């Protein structure tokens, strides 16, 4: 490898072109800083665009349409069983969704003057890095932002293989296996399991804890759990994979409590791991823990004054939108603004059917910290819109301060929960009161009314206000 | 774990400093107040004392490095016993003490009578908090509210405030947790933040008593601008890149800010200082006998201070966000000094109150300190108006850039003997060209003309100065 003496001087070097990286880079460029992005794939989008958020939501949309088509049979419109052609489905996902969005990102980068450099970045101290790859070069930066993201974790002792997939492989949709085992009952396992089950696989799910989506309030999970029971062949809770043996044409898996079963493919979705190895961080002051997570403060600064970090590489929650906000904050801090990641409400969404979404304080958090709260639940059985959609199995809840009615958190389960949570996130972030939500007119008939209804019932339930005295 | 100590807020827009020397070693046990580091900002070299006694667990900086306010400098090993009971639920980087070296209390925004802040207990180092309140700035000595009463007790969880309000608090260096909230449900509003950031005693408006009702303060509209990227110069020929020195960077940033935000207007005038010059010459010996070199500048300072007292809007700052003019009741004048490293503006305080000889003495001493690179941070802060000698190296005048956030600057060119018509005759007089550059948001051309005329009158009739002393 010939190290060219090409040295670039930049204000900001962003390492990793995913949502955290490109958000930081675009914001930095907007603020007048000369910025480059170094990405091993030489393109923007990261795991989110190429092997995560986007392809999975595309497939989940298709699954939802298929479910809707099946359900509409109950009201007199019958389509018959679907004919599934994997090639066009894959092509739509890859070309018309992912590639089109990628071109859009590349266009933005061009317009903002952000150069995307292909290669692996390795730090050489706190002010410089070298790029390894086809076009080696050195970059001297005033500030660097590490946005190298995360990768699927594997089960200890079990290697990836043609029949043992991670989420990336599963999204490539190699085929529709007759029998699929999903290891892990978190959002990735449930989402991908839903896709494959809808396309025709017999899906078995195994989860270590006693319930799906550990950590999420149970009342939000219940409606989903009921549907999953109907959709998947088997759900084994409180169990784990004891042994796994892959052969040429199948995988023999021993699940705790159920013995050995054969599957055509196994999807391992047990979590994601921060990617910070091989960056040369030992030449800097950046602190990394034993899980590879980079320590940052609320300005996204690492222990090294010229290096920032954003996104999955900084730990949980590993969500693209958290990375995007952090990316903007890091760029603004570098540009001298009084910015900080002080967000109170980071929403989370599970894109199954029904969707689940939540933000802010959960009931579980409140219980665990002994914090008194008032919770108001509105059942969609009482929603006009839900009735017209034939989807009365949803629920909207608000969690509020018992004295002031300030909205501390919210949770929604039902179709469109991911969109409905945005209003709640705004309420939590701006310290709005239940009274504000209750008094704001929500269009009728919509599912958004459920937020207003929950707020109205909260008002009935609050402690009487202490008089302020005149 | 350990207790990190971060670079404290240096005040007045200074956001970073260069490490000159590290005076301790890792593993060393030091006492509170022992010199820890030497840093340099604006060519004022400043020693930072240790905020606590203890063992240095790790040193995070090295000489030559530039660090930003809030960056970790050293980490102290955990003490066996926490220093303050607060139990610090926050996880932001540990704020340093409010004792910036050599400073009158850094917290210009704190109450004058505010007791020293009790240091919060050990906080965990850098790792990202999930819900973190805004980073504390030692500038925000708001452990006590404006009237001296204890602030609200620590809340559970994040302080209720919109993102815009939180950002305002950060910009003003106000700690949200000590602000008394008046918004619905205990929300902290912008007004609450500003009230917490304002000085304790709000004096009512002064001399300019309008007969009509005073206007309600409303924010001015902001001026947006975007900087396009530089072209690649290499395409036209070879170039060389020279990094800017710290002082140069600071000047560049300050000038850009002032030029971008302040609409500059300049009023040109000339003062006949023949009589003033004669007065100075006549008193040179007497002054020297008292160890003072009498110069024109000391008279300029005095005349300017008296003129500012009569035209208070030139001795003010504009708070665009609040839509208010901050009229200062003190008169601290900056005198621009050219050093080989760049332009420095040390400040002389209370020019209106000091006798002329005292001013001259102080001026001489200050200029010497600056040239020797020994000016302290205190020497450079608190100015309300600036005088700059634009004729020192020749030329007939210049339009200087206002020393933001002041609203006016007086440029003085070289005095020359010139032919002047007086009573039909041409006589030789000593003429001093002046430029008064001021902020058009605050004053109009007529105001500038009146100020300049007033100043010129004092310079042309030094005997009248006597009546004002």
What are the structural domains, with CATH classification, of chain A? 7-152+273-334 (3.50.50.60), 164-270 (3.50.50.60), 348-461 (3.30.390.30)
Assess contact for A300 and B93: CB atoms under 8 A. Answer: no
Element (H, E) at B385: strand B385-389
| Residues of A with Cβ-Cβ distance to B127 under 8 angstroms | 287, 295-297
Per-residue model confidence (pLDDT) at position A61: 97
Residue to mutate among A8, A274, A299, with most B CBs inside 10 A, is A299
Element (H, E) at B297: helix B296-310
User: Both B305 and B444 in a single domain?
Assistant: yes
Per-residue model confidence (pLDDT) at position B199: 58
- Name the residue with higher pLDDT: A350 or B391: A350
Nearest to B185 among A297, A361, A406 (CB): A406
Per-residue model confidence (pLDDT) at position B337: 84
Per-residue model confidence (pLDDT) at position B218: 57
| Per-residue pLDDT tens digits for A175-224 | 999 999 999 999 999 999 999 999 999 999 999 999 999 999 999 999 99
User: Both B290 and B438 in a single domain?
Assistant: yes
Contacts of B458 by beta carbon, 8 Å cutoff, 6+ apart: B303, B306, B307, B464, B465, B468
In the predicted model, what is the mean pLDDT of residues A163-170?
96
Interchain CB distance below 8 Å, B230 and A34: yes
Cis before B283? omega within 30: no
Per-residue model confidence (pLDDT) at position B377: 76
Last residue of a domain, one of B140, B171, B202: B140
Nearest to B404 by CA among B257, B265, B267: B257
Q: Are strands B35-41 and B16-22 parallel, antiparallel or unpaired?
A: antiparallel
- Whether B83 is covered by a domain: the verdict is yes
| Residues of A with Cβ-Cβ distance to B163 under 8 angstroms | 342-343, 429-430
The answer, as to whether pTM is greater than 0.90, is: no
pLDDT in tens, chain B (469 residues): 577 788 876 655 567 888 888 888 888 888 777 778 888 776 566 777 777 778 888 888 888 888 887 788 888 887 544 333 333 333 433 333 333 333 333 333 333 333 333 333 333 333 333 333 333 333 333 333 344 443 444 456 789 999 999 999 999 889 998 898 999 888 999 999 998 877 544 444 333 444 444 455 555 655 556 677 788 888 888 888 888 887 788 888 889 999 999 999 999 999 999 999 999 999 999 999 998 999 999 999 999 999 999 999 999 999 988 889 999 999 999 999 888 777 889 999 999 999 989 999 999 898 888 888 787 777 888 999 999 988 778 888 899 999 999 999 999 999 999 999 999 999 999 999 999 999 999 999 999 999 999 999 999 999 887 777 6
User: Both B126 and B253 in a single domain?
Assistant: no
- Whether B335 is covered by a domain: the verdict is yes
Task: Quote the tokens at residue B454.
Answer: 């007033």
Which range (A131-135, A386-390, B204-208, B386-390) has the least confidence? Answer: B204-208
Per-residue model confidence (pLDDT) at position A210: 95
- Residues B357, B362, B364: CA angle, nearest 5 degrees: 95
Cis before A304? omega within 30: no
Based on the residue annotation, tell me whether B461 is a catalytic residue of this protein. no
| Residues of A with Cβ-Cβ distance to B244 under 8 angstroms | none
Nearest to B280 by CA among B184, B189, B333, B356: B356
| Residues of A with Cβ-Cβ distance to B184 under 8 angstroms | 404, 433, 435-436
Assess contact for B267 and A151: CB atoms under 8 A. Answer: no
Question: Half-sphere exposure (CA, 13 Å, Cβ side) for B459?
Answer: 29
| Residues of B with Cβ-Cβ distance to A433 under 8 angstroms | 184-185
Displacement of CA B346 from its chain's centroid (Å): 10
| DSSP three-state, residue A427 | helix
Nearest to A25 by CA among B229, B233, B163: B229
pLDDT surpassing 50 at residue A91: yes
Any alpha helices (H) in A261-334, and if so which ranges?
A: 320-334
| Residues of B with Cβ-Cβ distance to A431 under 8 angstroms | 160-162, 183, 185, 187
Output DSSP code: residue B408. Answer: E
ipTM of the prediction: 0.81
Last residue of a domain, one of B86, B106, B140: B140
Interchain CB distance below 8 Å, A113 and B229: yes
- Whether B166 is covered by a domain: the verdict is no
Domain containing residue B39: CATH number:
2.40.50.100
Task: Quote the tokens at residue B467.
Answer: 């009546």
- Whether B369 is covered by a domain: the verdict is yes
Displacement of CA A409 from its chain's centroid (Å): 18
Interchain CB distance below 8 Å, B162 and A431: yes
Interchain CB distance below 8 Å, A430 and B163: yes
Beta-carbon contacts below 8 Å between A and B: 102
Contacts of A467 by beta carbon, 8 Å cutoff, 6+ apart: none
User: Both B438 and B322 in a single domain?
Assistant: yes
Task: Quote the tokens at residue A99.
Answer: 């590639």
Contacts of B55 by beta carbon, 8 Å cutoff, 6+ apart: B27, B28, B29, B30, B76, B77
For residue A219, the distance in angstroms to the closest alpha carbon of chain B comes to: 24
In the predicted model, what is the mean pLDDT of residues A406-422?
97
pLDDT band of residue A246 (cuts 50, 70, 90) is very high
What's the total number of domains in chain B?
Answer: 2
| Per-residue pLDDT tens digits for A102-121 | 999 999 999 999 999 999 99
Residue to mutate among B5, B92, B126, B180, with most A CBs inside 10 A, is B126
Any alpha helices (H) in A245-319, and if so which ranges?
A: none
- Whether B151 is covered by a domain: the verdict is no
Neighbours of B370 (CB within 10 A): 21
For residue B101, the distance in angstroms to the closest alpha carbon of chain A comes to: 22
Q: In which domain, by residue range, is B434 found?
A: 247-468
Interchain CB distance below 8 Å, A113 and B60: no
Long-range pairs, A124-128, Cβ under 8 A, ≥24: A124/A280, A124/A283, A125/A283, A125/A284, A126/A283, A126/A284, A126/A285, A126/A304, A126/A305, A126/A306, A126/A307, A127/A306
Nearest to A303 among B68, B126, B185 (CB): B126
For residue B67, the distance in angstroms to the closest alpha carbon of chain A comes to: 6
Burial of A47 (0-12, 13-18, 19+ CB in 10 A): buried
Last residue of a domain, one of B88, B121, B140: B140
| Per-residue pLDDT tens digits for A277-328 | 999 999 999 999 999 999 999 999 999 999 999 999 999 999 999 999 999 9
Which neighbouring-strand residues pair with A359? A410
| DSSP three-state, residue A313 | helix
Domain containing residue B364: CATH number:
3.30.559.10
For residue B97, the distance in angstroms to the closest alpha carbon of chain A comes to: 19
Nearest to B134 among A287, A340, A371 (CB): A340
Per-residue model confidence (pLDDT) at position B9: 65
Q: Are strands A164-165 and A265-268 parallel, antiparallel or unpaired?
A: parallel
For residue A391, the distance in angstroms to the closest alpha carbon of chain B comes to: 35
Q: What CA–CA distance (Å, rounded) separates B300 from B75?
A: 49
């Amino acid at each position: 490898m010939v190290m060219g003496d090409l040295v670039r001087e930049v204000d900001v070097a962003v390492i990793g072109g995913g949502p955290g990286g490109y958000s930081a880079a675009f914001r930095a460029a907007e603020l007048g800083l000369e910025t480059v992005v170094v990405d091993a794939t030489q393109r923007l989008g990261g795991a989110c665009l190429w092997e995560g958020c986007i392809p999975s939501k595309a497939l989940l949309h298709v699954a939802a349409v298929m479910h809707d088509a099946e359900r509409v049979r109950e009201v007199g419109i019958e389509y018959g069983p679907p004919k599934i052609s994997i090639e066009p489905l894959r092509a739509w996902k890859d070309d018309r969704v992912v590639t089109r969005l990628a071109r859009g990102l590349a266009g933005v980068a061009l317009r903002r003057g952000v150069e995307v450099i292909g290669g692996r970045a390795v730090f050489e101290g706190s002010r410089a890095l070298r790029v390894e790859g086809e076009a080696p070069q050195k970059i001297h930066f005033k500030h660097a932002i590490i946005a190298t993201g995360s990768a699927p974790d594997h089960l200890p002792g079990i290697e990836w293989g043609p029949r043992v997939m991670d989420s990336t492989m599963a999204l490539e949709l190699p085929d529709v296996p007759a029998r699929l085992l999903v290891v892990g009952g978190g959002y990735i396992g449930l989402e991908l399991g839903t896709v494959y089950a809808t396309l025709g696989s017999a899906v078995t799910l195994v989860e270590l804890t006693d319930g799906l989506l550990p950590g999420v309030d149970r009342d939000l999970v219940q409606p989903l759990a009921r549907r999953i029971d109907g959709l998947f062949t088997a759900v084994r809770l409180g169990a784990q994979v004891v042994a796994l043996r892959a052969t040429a044409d199948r995988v023999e898996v021993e699940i705790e409590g159920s013995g050995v079963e054969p599957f055509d493919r196994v999807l391992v979705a047990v979590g994601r791991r921060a990617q910070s190895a091989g960056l040369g961080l030992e030449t800097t002051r950046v602190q990394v823990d034993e899980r590879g997570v980079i320590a940052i403060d609320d300005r996204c600064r690492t222990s090294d004054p010229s290096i920032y970090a954003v996104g999955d590489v900084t730990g949980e929650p590993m969500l693209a939108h958290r990375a995007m906000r952090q990316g903007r904050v890091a760029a603004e801090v570098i540009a001298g603004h009084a910015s900080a990641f002080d967000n109170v409400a980071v929403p989370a969404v599970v894109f199954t059917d029904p969707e689940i979404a939540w933000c802010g304080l959960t009931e579980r958090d409140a219980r665990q910290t002994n914090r008194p709260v008032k919770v108001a639940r509105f059942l969609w059985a009482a929603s006009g819109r839900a009735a017209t959609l034939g989807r009365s199995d949803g629920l909207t809840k608000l969690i509020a301060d018992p004295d002031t009615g300030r909205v501390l958190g919210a949770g929604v389960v039902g179709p469109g929960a991911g969109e409905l949570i945005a209003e709640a996130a705004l309420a939590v972030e701006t310290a709005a009161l239940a009274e504000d939500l209750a008094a704001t007119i929500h269009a009728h008939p919509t599912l958004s009314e459920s937020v207003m209804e929950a707020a109205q019932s909260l008002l009935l339930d609050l402690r009487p206000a202490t008089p302020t005295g005149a | 774990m350990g207790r990190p100590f971060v670079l404290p807020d240096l005040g007045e827009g200074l956001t970073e400093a260069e490490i000159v020397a590290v005076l301790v070693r890792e593993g060393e046990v030091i006492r509170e107040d022992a010199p820890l580091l030497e840093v340099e900002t604006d060519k004022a070299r400043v020693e930072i004392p240790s905020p606590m006694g203890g063992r240095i667990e790790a040193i995070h900086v090295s000489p030559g490095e530039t660090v930003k306010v809030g960056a970790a400098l050293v980490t102290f090993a955990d003490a066996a016993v926490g220093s303050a009971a607060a139990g610090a639920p926050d996880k932001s980087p540990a704020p340093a003490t409010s004792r910036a070296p050599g400073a009158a209390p850094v917290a210009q925004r704190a109450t004058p009578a505010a007791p020293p802040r009790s240091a919060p207990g050990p906080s965990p180092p850098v790792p990202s908090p999930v819900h973190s309140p805004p980073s504390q700035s030692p500038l925000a000595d708001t452990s006590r509210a404006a009237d001296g009463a204890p602030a609200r007790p620590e809340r559970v969880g994040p302080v209720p405030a919109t993102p815009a309000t939180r950002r305002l608090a950060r910009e003003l260096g106000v700690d949200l947790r000590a602000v008394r909230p008046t918004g619905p449900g205990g929300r902290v509003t912008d007004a609450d933040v500003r009230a917490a950031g304002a000085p304790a005693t709000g004096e009512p408006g002064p001399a300019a008593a309008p007969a009509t009702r005073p206007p309600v303060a409303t924010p001015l509209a902001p001026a947006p601008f975007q900087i396009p990227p530089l072209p690649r110069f290499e395409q036209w020929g070879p170039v060389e890149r020279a990094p800017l020195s710290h002082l140069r960077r600071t000047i560049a940033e300050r000038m850009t800010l002032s030029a971008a935000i302040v609409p500059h207007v300049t009023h040109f005038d000339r003062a006949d200082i023949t009589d003033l010059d004669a007065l100075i010459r006549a008193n040179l010996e007497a002054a020297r006998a008292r160890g003072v070199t009498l110069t024109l500048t000391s008279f300029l300072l005095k005349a300017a201070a008296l003129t500012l007292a009569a035209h208070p809007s030139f001795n003010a700052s504009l708070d665009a966000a609040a839509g208010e003019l901050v009229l200062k009741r003190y008169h601290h004048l900056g005198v621009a000094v050219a050093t080989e490293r760049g332009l420095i503006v040390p400040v002389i305080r209370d020019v209106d109150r000091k006798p002329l000889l005292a001013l001259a003495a102080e001026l001489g001493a200050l200029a010497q300190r600056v040239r020797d690179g020994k000016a302290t941070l205190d020497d450079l802060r608190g100015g309300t108006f600036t005088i700059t000698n634009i004729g020192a190296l020749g030329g007939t005048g210049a339009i200087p850039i206002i020393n933001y956030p002041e609203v006016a600057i007086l440029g003085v060119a070289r005095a020359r003997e010139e032919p002047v018509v007086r009573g039909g005759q041409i006589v030789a007089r000593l003429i001093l060209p002046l430029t008064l550059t001021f902020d058009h948001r605050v004053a109009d051309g007529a105001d500038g003309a009146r100020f300049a005329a007033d100043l010129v009158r004092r310079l042309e009739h030094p005997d009248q100065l006597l009546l004002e002393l």
